[in-house]
């Protein structure tokens, strides 16, 4: 009887985890490294998400994050498509990453926020590792290269840059989640935007 209860409990846990994002597995390997930064370690992806600028833009139309992405040691090459990146608002709405065309249109409006966000972001996985920076990202500044709709990450490179989301009704304090849908898992990365006080 005890074995059956343990089996049912384990099965129920798997079902609840799978249903919580709609598809795939939710990986809970997230830890906060500072007030403005969280690190995610999953089976296909290692990521740091910095949300420093988000807390400076409450009420604004744009949520600006900075992410560092690297393949997990055993994952080989992991492909990430722009359409698979979104944030979930505190009230549960799903907001997609803006397109390169949208980014160029609003760049003059968000330029200073992008600069603040990227200038306060330290490189990831540079101590004790041989990872080198990659030259691919989803959003490219005017005259700053080419944006990619899909990037392939591996364990030898760290790809990083801004992620920008349009937020109807304005950026609000609360628990947000960056979600990156991958082939075998979902990177579900919660972070808290807090009012300074």
DSSP string over 111-168: HHHHHHHHHT---SS-SS---EE-S--S---TTS----SEEEE-TTEEEEEEEEEE-T
Which two three-digit tokens encode residue 38? 């969280």
The answer to the question of residue 72 being in a domain is yes
The answer to the question of residue 169 being in a domain is yes
Q: What is the pTM of this model?
A: 0.81
Task: Give the pLDDT of residue 155.
Answer: 86
Q: Which domain holds residue 164?
A: 22-193
Question: Among 39, 37, 36, which residue's Cα sits nearest to residue 27?
Answer: 39
45-69 pLDDT, tens digit per residue, is 999 999 999 988 999 999 999 999 9
Grouped pLDDT means (10 residues each) for the chain, 197 residues: 40 35 51 90 91 91 95 83 97 97 95 89 51 87 87 89 96 96 92 85
Task: Give the pLDDT of residue 121.
Answer: 61
Total number of domains in the chain: 1
CA 3 vs CA 8, 12, 16: distances in Å: 9, 14, 20
The answer to the question of residue 7 being in a domain is no
The answer to the question of residue 15 being in a domain is no
Task: Give the pLDDT of residue 5.
Answer: 41
Which two three-digit tokens encode residue 157? 């490179």
The answer to the question of residue 167 being in a domain is yes
The answer to the question of residue 57 being in a domain is yes
The answer to the question of residue 89 being in a domain is yes
């Amino acid at each position: 009887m005890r074995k059956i209860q343990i089996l049912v409990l384990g099965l129920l846990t798997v079902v609840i985890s799978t249903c919580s994002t709609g598809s795939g597995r939710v990986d809970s390997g997230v830890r906060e490294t500072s007030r403005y930064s969280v690190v995610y370690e999953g089976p296909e992806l290692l990521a740091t998400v910095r949300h420093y600028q988000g807390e400076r833009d409450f009420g604004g139309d744009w949520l600006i994050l900075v992410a560092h992405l690297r393949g997990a040691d055993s994952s080989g090459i992991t492909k990430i498509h722009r359409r698979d990146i979104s944030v979930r608002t505190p009230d549960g709405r799903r907001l997609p990453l803006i397109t390169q065309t949208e980014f160029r249109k609003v760049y003059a409006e968000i330029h200073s926020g992008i600069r603040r966000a990227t200038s306060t972001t330290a490189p990831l996985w540079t101590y004790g590792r041989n990872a080198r920076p990659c030259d691919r990202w989803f959003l490219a500044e005017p005259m700053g290269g080419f944006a990619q709709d899909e990037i392939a990450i591996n364990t030898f490179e760290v790809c990083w840059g801004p992620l920008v989301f349009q937020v109807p009704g304005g950026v609000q304090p609360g628990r947000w989640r960056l979600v990156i849908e991958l082939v075998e898992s979902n990177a579900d990365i919660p972070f808290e935007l807090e009012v300074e006080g």
